[in-house]
A and B are shown apart, each in its own frame.
Chain A
């Protein structure tokens, strides 16, 4: 770790001005990551827009289709993600307080919860696929247009979200390695901070996916 004193230049009046070291700029790392999350938001936003468009066109079909989903499993997953976000936050606090062991433990728990999420997702998808409901299947194609689109969007969007969960797990394993190598520590924790922000986004997206796909069916 570099602990260089910052480079200073002086203007005409002799006032000092600090020069930002591009190799070690905490603010830049945060700002950059926020912008990246913004692009993710645009990406999911576009899909939500597509969902809204078709939902507006065929609300009844969407409700019928939504009734087929297992709201218990979906709800359980919502809870699991919420819990995992909590542990991710705790991990960061522990790191800042130099409690490396507890920090790593919290990350392990987060990873475990992420796996549980994926397993439940897997069970849900298998149930639907066993019922013959998957994109372009005969059974699905025989249903109404709105139901076809609902399930098309359901598999696409939860699939995308699932990929983000997997990426999150990979990132957490990476940060564990960095913590072991002491590259991430109580003074330099921006990587863990960013990953935790990312995990917040993954969780936030799910919080929108859940009511859209699972809860609208309750009304019907």
Chain B
């Protein structure tokens, strides 16, 4: 096989047929793989921006009293930090980047069902990002409401809430379109023979996520628009002086945003389920229960939004029901965890960087999940509501769960994206730096919160100083680790060693074609009469490389 392969980097389809200009070939490309790369470039830029804002806040909090940020600026800082992290980074994150790149590969398709719509989603995403950026620089500056935009404050404040909301709305639109595209792709373009229970688990995660995007995002979209209308026209829906109800906003908001938590975490769970069998060199334990639990989480996740409103005034019975329902979400989540641990049990694990990230995540996410259960317990919630306990909890779940898994995915599929390997030793150092830094940063905050340190405060009582200073040191370690990791990955593009189609010896379809894949992925689409994670004596049972590449047919 000495023929020179052309990858999707060399040739592409665009909306307007063929372009000679390289840049236009990228921004008008309708190839799902190129679109994925467009997403990750923009996303990482914003991630770095949001990280620096987080670090700035941490520096401000290093000593009590005012250091570098005024109280108003601090409010804008945590709003911007939260908004970017949630709406621009984690929610679209894994589906838009890895979903786009991998979904067709994993199910044996040549692209998604609607390639042009896919590009349009990216354009919407970019426009949303730009609108958010613009509002930093004009008028009284970025919103200062927190990323949740709670009414009535968001209706009253003078800052550019309308811009931020419009941005969030456009991003939501982008996410809905991606969701529709993925659902249809999964239904229509699975390779012949691949029934639902032969799909890789990452596909299950993406599929469940896509349904949440379709069902929940429109609700928050209209809610955000109602705030805009309220601000501009004063229709009164959220204004008690006109008979409106500000709590209504919280309900509408959390009807979306609680499922959104699963929208972030389900694809991340999917990533775990891909990486584990590869590095444990055996079939995943409980394939079906993992698949079905994704769907269950998506469904139950819908019914529990009320636990964000325990202190906002609800009847006691409603509170108890919401609290009770919320406990139920932990059952399918727990099932997944036990399946993963069972997969690892007595396996001969290969500790490459992606696997390290998975193990690290299982630890941090378990801490995040358990403290989450503490939080939805009614009595405790009243005490911990809006303290740093909550801040620590969600950084443990979102950062330590979703973002860590995104990092894992970045390493695991790196050879597929780039065709080369990153520096394994450096990548491991980066992992340890981030993992240690992360725990130093957020673990003390559980104590600070339990002792009464409220969230979203730019100042604090002197007795909390020690916690904030430990966290400050942790933040610096984390950020250096992240920068080192990005450096390692980026320098691998130039300096990395070429790798073959399947450097991890993995069993799913994306590894059965060249790295990086050619345009339209599969020359010959395979007939799928095998399960996704079949290993025999530590080797994948199927080697379809030549068959799918079409080598036999050519000769």
Contact = CB atoms under 8 A, between A and B. Distances in A.
A42 B214 CA distance: 9
Interface of B: 109-115, 117, 176, 179-181, 183-184, 187-189, 191-193, 214-219, 221-223, 226, 229, 233-237, 242-245, 248, 252, 524-527, 529
Contacts of B113: 22, 25, 28, 32
Nearest to A36: B180
B180 A35 contact: yes
A162 interface: no
Contact of B189 (A7, A22, A54): A22
B214 A35 contact: yes
Nearest to A13: B529
B183 A19 contact: no
Contacts of A97: none
Nearest to A144: B243
B192 A19 contact: yes
Interface size class of A (residues with CB under 8 A): 35 or more
A156 interface: yes
B223 A17 contact: no
A17 B236 contact: no
Contacts of B243: 54, 57-58, 144-146, 148-149
Contacts of A181: none
A67 interface: no
Nearest to A42: B218
A9 B218 CA distance: 40
Interface stretch (A43-51, A73-81, A115-123): A43-51
A9 B222 contact: no
Given A42-B218, A152-B237, A28 B184 contact: yes
A135 B233 contact: yes
A17 B242 contact: no
A5 B224 CA distance: 48
Interface in A130-175: 135-136, 141, 144-146, 148-149, 151-153, 155-156
A39 B176 contact: yes
Contacts of A144: 243
B527 A149 contact: no
A12 B226 CA distance: 57
Given A32-B114, A46-B219, A153 B524 contact: no
29 contacts: A9-B524, A9-B526, A11-B527, A17-B527, A20-B189, A22-B109, A22-B110, A22-B112, A28-B187, A31-B184, A32-B113, A35-B183, A39-B180, A39-B214, A39-B218, A43-B221, A46-B223, A53-B245, A136-B233, A145-B236, A148-B242, A149-B236, A149-B237, A149-B242, A149-B243, A151-B235, A152-B235, A155-B235, A156-B229
A4 B243 CA distance: 63
Contacts of A32: 113-114, 117, 180-181, 184
A57 B236 CA distance: 14
Nearest to B191: A19
Contacts of A145: 236, 242-243
Across the A-B interface, the 9 shortest Cβ-Cβ residue pairs: A145-B243, A152-B235, A17-B192, A136-B234, A42-B218, A135-B233, A43-B218, A28-B113, A39-B218
B184 A35 contact: yes
Contacts of B242: 141, 145, 148-149, 152
A199 to B, nearest CB: 19
A153 B222 CA distance: 13
Contacts of A11: 192-193, 527, 529
Contacts of A193: none
A161 to B, nearest CB: 13
A40 interface: yes
Contacts of A9: 192, 524-527
A9 B548 CA distance: 12
A38 B181 CA distance: 14
A208 interface: no
Contacts of B234: 135-136
Contacts of A39: 176, 180, 214-215, 217-218
A7 B110 CA distance: 13
A10 B527 contact: yes
Nearest to A30: B184
